[in-house]
C-alpha cells in the first residue's frame, strides 16, 4: 500500500484535461487551437507520469505494486482498488504513449469539432488506464466497458462515409459479449461475497462451474481481441475510423482481450482453460491462416492492415493458452510489439490519406522517388510486421510459437505458416506502394513527411528496433508476474485433480494431476 495515490493520479489526470477543455471560451479558431494544446500537454504529462512509474517499478517483485485500496460500496463489499504488476505495466506505457501520438498526428487532419474530439480521446485514455490498473472485478468491468463510449463517438462522428454502420457494429458486438461476462462476475460475487480480484484469485472455483464462467469471459475477451469468427466488426471499424481512432483501436483496445485472458481466464479457471485449449488453439490457427489469405486480396491499405491484426492476435492466443512461460511471455511481447507496429502502419496510411484522400493501393506507386524518408520508415514497420529478426515482431512470434510447440507441436507448425503469408501480403503491399512507377500524377507529386510526422514516426521506429535488439528490457520485468500466473494455473489444476473430476486433464499413479506444462506435450 502506497501513501501517494500514483495510479489514481495517472488514471484520472486525462479527466483534468477534459475539464480544462470544456472550460475554453472564445472564437472558434481560438477554441480549436487551445483545445489541441491542452490535449497535447495533458497527454504528455500523463505519459511522463507513466515513465516515472516505470522508473519506480520493482522488476523483481511478482506481486502488485503501487496498490491503492479505498471503500467504494462498503455495504456490497465492493472496493476501489488499483495496482499494477509486470504485465499491466507496459500496457499502461503503451496507452499513454499512443494517446499522445494520436493527438499529435490529428493536429491538422481533424478539422471539425476539434474540442469534442480531444475530449473523447482523453476520456478514452482514462478508461484504458483504469482497465489495466483495476484490482476489483466490478471496477474492471466499468473501465473495460467504458472504452466503448468514446470509441463509438470517435468512429461515428469523425469517421468515413459508413461511419454510423461501423460504429454501431463495433458497439453491439463488444457489448453483447460483455453482457455474458457481467453475468459471470455476478456469479463470482455471490460465491465469494466480494468483487476483490485478489480474493477471487485465492478462492477456487469448482471445475463444473469453471466451465460456464470460462465461456462467459471468453465471449467478451474473444470479441475484444478479436478472434475468428467474431472478428468481422474490426475491418469495418478500422476502415471508417479516423487515423487516431484506428491507432488506438489496434494499438490498445485489441490488447484488452489478451489482458483479460491473463488476468481472469488462465489463473481463475485453470481446469476450464486446459479443457478448452484445443478449441482456442484451433480458432487461433484458423485466424492466422484465413485472415492472412483475406489480407492478400485487399485493395484498401487500412483493410489489409486490419485483417493482419486479426492474424497477429492469433499468435497471442496461441502463446497464452500454451500455458508455458515462453508462450505467455511471447503473447505479452507480441501484444506490445503489435501495438507499436500496427499503430505505426495506420499512421503510415494516414500520412498518404491526408495528402491524397485515398487508401486504394492502386492510386500510389513509386513513392520512394519523391518520399524517401517515408519509404524508409514504412520499410522498418513492414519488416517488423513480417517478423524480421532484429525487430520486435520477431521476438513475440518466436516466443509464442516456441511455447506452443512445447504444448502442442501441430498447432505451432500450422501457426508458423502465418509468418510466410504475412511476409507475402506485407511485401506485396510495400512493392505496389513504394516501388515501380507512380500510378497517378498526384502520387508522383506527393511531398515527403514533415517535421510533425517525423516526430511521431521516428520514435515508433526506434522502439520497434530497440525491443527487437534488447527484448529483455520488457521480458525481465514481465517474467515474475508471468511465473505467478503459471503458478496460479498449476496450483488450480492440482487442487481439483482426482479420478472423479470430469475436467481433470490427466493423473499419475499417485492420483495427482499432471498439467500440460509438466507433460510438455498435448493430450
DSSP per-residue codes, 17-61: HHHHHHT--S-HHHHHHHHHHHHHHHHHHHHHHHHHHHHH--TT-
State the pLDDT at residue 509: 35
Residue reference for cell 483496445: 253
pLDDT at 391: 92
Note the pLDDT tens digit of each residue in 275-293. Answer: 999 999 999 999 999 999 9
Evaluated on CA atoms 272, 275, 278, 283, the torsion sign reads: negative
Nearest alpha carbon to residue 115 among 158, 72, 54, 156: 158
According to DSSP, residue 449 is labeled P
pLDDT at residue 93, rounded to an integer: 94
Question: Please, are residues 437 and 367 in contact by the beta-carbon 8 Å criterion?
Answer: no
Integer Cα distance of 397 and 390 in angstroms: 12
Q: How far is residue 15 CA from its own chain's centroid?
A: 22
What's the confidence (pLDDT) of residue 518?
A: 39
DSSP helix/strand/coil, 193 = coil
State the DSSP code for 507: B
The b-or-e profile of 92-125 (16+ CB within 10 A means b, else e) is bbbbbbbbbbbbbbbeeebeeebbbbbbbbbbbb
- The position carrying cell 509486470 is 86
CA distance to 74, 288, 476, per residue, from 392 (Å): 45, 18, 15
Q: What are the distances in angstroms from CA 247 to CA 59, 243, 397, 461?
A: 29, 6, 21, 15
pLDDT the model gives residue 505: 40
DSSP per position, 68-113? EEEEEEGGGTEEEEEEE-HHHHHHHHHHHHHHHHHHHHHHHH--SS
Residue with the three cell numbers 495506420: 346
Query: What are the Cα distances from residue 514, in Å, to 151, 492, 510?
Result: 44, 11, 11
What's the pLDDT at 490?
Answer: 85
Question: What is residue 54's predicted lDDT score, i.e. its pLDDT?
Answer: 92
Roughly what angle, to the nearest 10 degrees, separates helices 137-146 and 163-192? Answer: 180
Query: CA-CA-CA-CA torsion for 401, 239, 455, 387, nearest 10 degrees?
Result: 20
Kind and range of the H or E run holding 186: helix 163-192
Tell me if 233 sits within 8 A of 173, measured CB to CB.
Answer: yes
Helix, strand, coil shares of the chain, percent, nearest 5, are 75, 5, 20
Residue owning grid cell 517535421: 451
The cell for 28 is: 472558434
Element (H, E) at 321: none
DSSP, collapsed to helix, strand or coil, labels residue 297 as coil
Q: How far is CA 47 from CA 120, 129, 249, 263, 456, in A?
A: 17, 11, 18, 24, 14
**Residues forming a β-bridge with 70:** 80
What number of other Cβ atoms are within 10 A of residue 386's Cβ? 21
Q: Which helix (H) or strand (E) holds 398?
A: helix 392-407
Strand, helix or coil for residue 234 = helix
Stretch (H or E) spanning 67: strand 65-73
Question: Which pLDDT score, from 0 to 100, does residue 506 have?
Answer: 38
User: What's the pLDDT at 439?
Assistant: 77
Residue 66 host element (H or E): strand 65-73
Alpha-carbon distances of 145 from 11, 128, 142, 208, 448, rounded to whole Å: 15, 10, 5, 28, 40
b (16+ CB within 10 A) / e for 476-511: ebbbbbbebbbebbbebbeebbeeebebbbeeeeee
What residues are paired with 275 via a beta bridge? none
Q: Give the count of alpha carbons within 13 A of 477, CB side only.
A: 22
CA dihedral 21, 23, 28, 29 (to 10 degrees): -60
Residue segments in the chain with a per-residue pLDDT below the cut of 70: 1-2, 496-523
- CA-closest candidate to residue 430, choices 387, 377, 353: 377
Amino acid at each position: 500500500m502506497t501513501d501517494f495515490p500514483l495510479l489514481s493520479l495517472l488514471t484520472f489526470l486525462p479527466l483534468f484535461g477534459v475539464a480544462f477543455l470544456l472550460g475554453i471560451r472564445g472564437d472558434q479558431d481560438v477554441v480549436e487551437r487551445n483545445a489541441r494544446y491542452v490535449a497535447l500537454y495533458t497527454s504528455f504529462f500523463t505519459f511522463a507520469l507513466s515513465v516515472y512509474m516505470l522508473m519506480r517499478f520493482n522488476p523483481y517483485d511478482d506481486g502488485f505494486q503501487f496498490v491503492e485500496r479505498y471503500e467504494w460500496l462498503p455495504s456490497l463489499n465492493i472496493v476501489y482498488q488499483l495496482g499494477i504488476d509486470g504485465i499491466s505495466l507496459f500496457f499502461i506505457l503503451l496507452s499513454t504513449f499512443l494517446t499522445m501520438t494520436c493527438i499529435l498526428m490529428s493536429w491538422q487532419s481533424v478539422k471539425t469539432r476539434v474540442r469534442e474530439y480531444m475530449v473523447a480521446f482523453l476520456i478514452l485514455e482514462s478508461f484504458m488506464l483504469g482497465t489495466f490498473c483495476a484490482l476489483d472485478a466490478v471496477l474492471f468491468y466499468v473501465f473495460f466497458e467504458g472504452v466503448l463510449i468514446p470509441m463509438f463517438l470517435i468512429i461515428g462522428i469523425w469517421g468515413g462515409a459508413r461511419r454510423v454502420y461501423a460504429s454501431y457494429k463495433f458497439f453491439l458486438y463488444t457489448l453483447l459479449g460483455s453482457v455474458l461476462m457481467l453475468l459471470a462476475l455476478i456469479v463470482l460475487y455471490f460465491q465469494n461475497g466480494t468483487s476483490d480480484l485478489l480474493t477471487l484469485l485465492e478462492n477456487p472455483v469448482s471445475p463444473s462451474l469453471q466451465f460456464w464462467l470460462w465461456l462467459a469471459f471468453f465471449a467478451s475477451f474473444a470479441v475484444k481481441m478479436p478472434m475468428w469468427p467474431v472478428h468481422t466488426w474490426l475491418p469495418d471499424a478500422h476502415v471508417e475510423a479516423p487515423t487516431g481512432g484506428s491507432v488506438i483501436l489496434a494499438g490498445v483496445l485489441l490488447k484488452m482481450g489478451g489482458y483479460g485472458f491473463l488476468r481472469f481466464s488462465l489463473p481463475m479457471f485453470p481446469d476450464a482453460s486446459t479443457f478448452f485449449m484445443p478449441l482456442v488453439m484451433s480458432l487461433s490457427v484458423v485466424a492466422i491462416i484465413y485472415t492472412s489469405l483475406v489480407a492478400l486480396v485487399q485493395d484498401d491499405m487500412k483493410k489489409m492492415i486490419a485483417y493482419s491484426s486479426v492474424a497477429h492476435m492469433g499468435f497471442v492466443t496461441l502463446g497464452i493458452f500454451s500455458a508455458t512461460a515462453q508462450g505467455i511471455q511471447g503473447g505479452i511481447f507480441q501484444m506490445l510489439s503489435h501495438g507499436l507496429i500496427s499503430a505505426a502502419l495506420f499512421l503510415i496510411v494516414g500520412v498518404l490519406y491526408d495528402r491524397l484522400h485515398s487508401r486504394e493501393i492502386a492510386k500510389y506507386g513509386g513513392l520512394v522517388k519523391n518520399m524517401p524518408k517515408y519509404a524508409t520508415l514504412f520499410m522498418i514497420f513492414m519488416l517488423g510486421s513480417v517478423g524480421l529478426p532484429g525487430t520486435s515482431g520477431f521476438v513475440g512470434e518466436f516466443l509464442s510459437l516456441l511455447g506452443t510447440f512445447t504444448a502442442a507441436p501441430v498447432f505451432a507448425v500450422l501457426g508458423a505458416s502465418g509468418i510466410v503469408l504475412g511476409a507475402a501480403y506485407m511485401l506485396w503491399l510495400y512493392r505496389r506502394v513504394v516501388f515501380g512507377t507512380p500510378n497517378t500524377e498526384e502520387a508522383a507529386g506527393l511531398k515527403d513527411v514533415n517535421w510533425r510526422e517525423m516526430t511521431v514516426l521516428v520514435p515508433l521506429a526506434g522502439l520497434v528496433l530497440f525491443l527487437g535488439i534488447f527484448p529483455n528490457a520488457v521480458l525481465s520485468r514481465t517474467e515474475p508476474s508471468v511465473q505467478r500466473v503459471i503458478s496460479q494455473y498449476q496450483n488450480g489444476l492440482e487442487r481439483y485433480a482426482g479420478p472423479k473430476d470430469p475436467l481433470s486433464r490427466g493423473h499419475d499413479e499417485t492420483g495427482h494431476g499432471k498439467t500440460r506444462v509438466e507433460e510438455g506435450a498435448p493430450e
